[in-house]
Amino acid sequence: MINIETLRDNPNLIREGLDKRGENTASIDEIIHLDKQWRAKVFEADTLRSHRNSVNKEIGNTKPIPATLISEMRDVSTRIKEIENRAKSLEKQVEELLLTIPNIPDDDVPIGSGEENNLVIKSPDKLPSFSFTPLSHWEIGEKLQIIDLQRGAKIAGSRFYVLKGQGAVLQRALVSWMLDLHIQHGYEELYLPYLVTRDTATGSGQLPKFDSTMYHDNEDDLWMIPTAEVPITSMHRDEILNPKNLPLHYVAHTPCFRREKAAAGRDTRGIKRVHQFEKVEMYKLVEPENSPQALAELVSNAESICAQLQIPYRVIELCAGELGAASAKSFDLEMWAPGSQEWLEVSSCSNCRDFQARRSNIRYRPAPKARTKFIHTLNGSGLALPRVMISIIENFQQPDGSIIIPDVLKPYTNFDKIKPKQG
């Protein structure tokens, strides 16, 4: 959530930030208008309360009490209640509108509205070559009987899949290895609920903006998580953190559920864009002055996964128009998929600054008796499983149709190669 005080004092700053994102700024004027009305009502109520208190003191010293004075004070009390109710209504309208406003990009975020404006800041010198024409992951997966798209669709509909045998083991090995590596980097592992309350989904920034892309249970008003970032954010909701315990570094493996629709004819084959997938998520809560360095560390931690898997990858700095709603600055990591001849996003590392903390009321006290401040939150995939699986399958495919297991995963799979089944 953006800072209402900043909006009051410097609304053009907010407008400029939204302009960079390509967002409509009309709601800013509406918020300012409603906020002025709210402050006027608060002032009016306070003035009447002060008047009522003064008169009540006079009444206490006056006998007999004039009936007109009693009647007047009753009217004042009624009026105060009416004003308070109106103020509450205005305050709620302002809050609801503020929840729809995305974060303001950092000043150094590249300007642009689409992926063509993103900056490639790191990439491999060359891509691997093959002595044969590399196949796509869905072709390889079918031949090796490790990915079953048809049965996934039979079970749950389009854009669901089944991993079988060594394919399922490979994914489990990836999860275990990535968690172990992040724990070595100083993250604390969490096991989290996969269903969350409306307050939790709102605190992270998923609601109300992305309600149409989330799966929802109407009876209990619970939401299936699209990422572990959502429940982790609410772990410290409404808390004042002890600076002695900062920074907090968390990592979690969860399924992710997304209703998002792919463009017609795009990303519809294989497991690239699906409604349910696994992901390992990194999350940091840090003091504001440390969040830029924390973002660099997130990117480095995600890069270490790519590097140790020995898969070509690149790092992209996102332009303003490509930022997620909660992010002030983001870097994406993309792995090369030689079979489908494309770069696949496997991680997005973001500094949300105090945007989520304001929505979730997560603060810390810099020193004893000091005024509390909002914490900064950061998140990054470490990594998302389907596209890592795609990259492994396509990069490590062999002329005989088999797949070599990356060295770092062999202790976790207990096999070196996925071979075509005989007969």
Specify if 104 maps to a domain.
no
Two tokens at 198? 């409306």
Burial 6-31 (b: 16+ CB within 10 A, else e): ebeeeeeebbebbebbebebeebeeb
Residue 264: which pLDDT band, with cuts at 50, 70 and 90?
low
Residue 57 has pLDDT above 60, yes or no: yes
Specify if 33 maps to a domain.
yes
Q: Whole-angstrom Cα distance, residue 360 to residue 241?
A: 13
Among 31, 64, 98, the domain boundary falls at: 98
- pTM of the complete model: 0.93
Same domain, residue pair 137 and 195: yes
Same domain, residue pair 69 and 138: no
Same domain, residue pair 92 and 151: no
Specify if 411 maps to a domain.
yes
Same domain, residue pair 309 and 352: yes
Specify if 51 maps to a domain.
yes
Determine the average pLDDT of the residues in 146-161: 96
Q: What angle do CA 262, 267, 271 make, to 5 degrees?
A: 110
* Sequence letter at residue 213: T
Least confident range of 63-77, 295-309, 363-377: 63-77
Same domain, residue pair 182 and 314: yes
CA distances from 123 to 306, 312, 387 (A): 12, 8, 18
Sign of CA dihedral 154, 159, 160, 163: positive
pLDDT at position 67 is 75
Burial degree of 62 (CB within 10 A; 0-12, 13-18, 19+):
exposed
Determine the average pLDDT of the residues in 25-32: 95
Residue 110 has pLDDT above 70, yes or no: yes
Same domain, residue pair 197 and 239: yes
Among 63, 98, 133, the domain boundary falls at: 98
Specify if 358 maps to a domain.
yes
For residue 413, the domain's CATH number is 3.30.930.10
CA nearest neighbour of 258 among 383, 149, 386: 386
Same domain, residue pair 310 and 381: yes
Specify if 317 maps to a domain.
yes
Residue 109 has pLDDT above 70, yes or no: yes
Specify if 93 maps to a domain.
yes
CA nearest neighbour of 256 among 227, 229, 282: 227
pLDDT at position 265 is 56
Residue 78: which pLDDT band, with cuts at 50, 70 and 90?
very high
pLDDT at position 181 is 98
For residue 11, the domain's CATH number is 1.10.287.40
Burial degree of 164 (CB within 10 A; 0-12, 13-18, 19+):
middle
Same domain, residue pair 210 and 351: yes
Three-state DSSP at 48 gives helix
Among 71, 98, 125, the domain boundary falls at: 98
Residue 305 has pLDDT above 80, yes or no: yes
Same domain, residue pair 291 and 188: yes
Residue 410 has pLDDT above 60, yes or no: yes
Number of domains in the chain: 2
Specify if 45 maps to a domain.
yes
Q: Whole-angstrom Cα distance, residue 189 to residue 235?
A: 13
Range of the domain at 155: 115-418
Beta bridge partners of 378: 284, 351
Same domain, residue pair 80 and 189: no
The answer to whether residues 376 and 286 touch, using CB atoms and an 8 Å cutoff, is yes
Residues contacting 265, CB < 8 A, separation 6+: none
Same domain, residue pair 58 and 175: no
Same domain, residue pair 52 and 154: no
